[in-house]
Amino acid sequence: MSRIGSTGSLGLTVQRELPGTPEEAFDAYTDPGRLRVWLSALGPEEGAVLTSVDLRVGGRWEARFRPNPQTLVHDVQTYREIDRPHRLVTDLVAESSVGGETMPTLETRIVMTFAATETGTLVTVEQSGFPATEMRDFFETTVWPAGLDRIAEFLASG
């Protein structure tokens, strides 16, 4: 479900129920070893996943990876709010290149919540600050669904 944020910037909301507890889902998203396993659809080796996490307000999550053979991504998220295992707020700066061509830098805010359900954890992602509808739609229909699918697979595998 897309929406325009209160500041007039383009935003999105994506929800997905994941297996496991809020603690397990939160840790899958914030622990560098777990991130390395699920972050790239190509896997940690072929996806060339490098990640580090300084999980504190003002700290950063940084990752370099290949979501596909043609694309290289460098994401830096700065933690603005941490309420383990319920809520994370980060500011994202994402740089990427596709086929060697540098893409425009993306700067957005991400708010994630993790709520226990009877069968797992409902993860809600709200991301705002997209510069264009096409970019927002790509994150809403491709980036977040695929990432949340990989986290679900990771959690289900134990």
- pTM comes to 0.91
Query: Residue written as tokens 């700067």?
Result: 107
Helices (H), 19-143: 22-30, 32-38, 133-138
pLDDT tens digits, 12-42: 999 999 999 999 999 999 999 999 999 999 9
CA distance 83 to 137: 28
Q: What are the distances in angstroms from CA 136 to CA 11, 34, 49, 101, 117?
A: 7, 26, 24, 20, 28
State the average pLDDT for the chain. Answer: 94
CA distance 84 to 150: 21
What's the pLDDT score for residue 7?
44
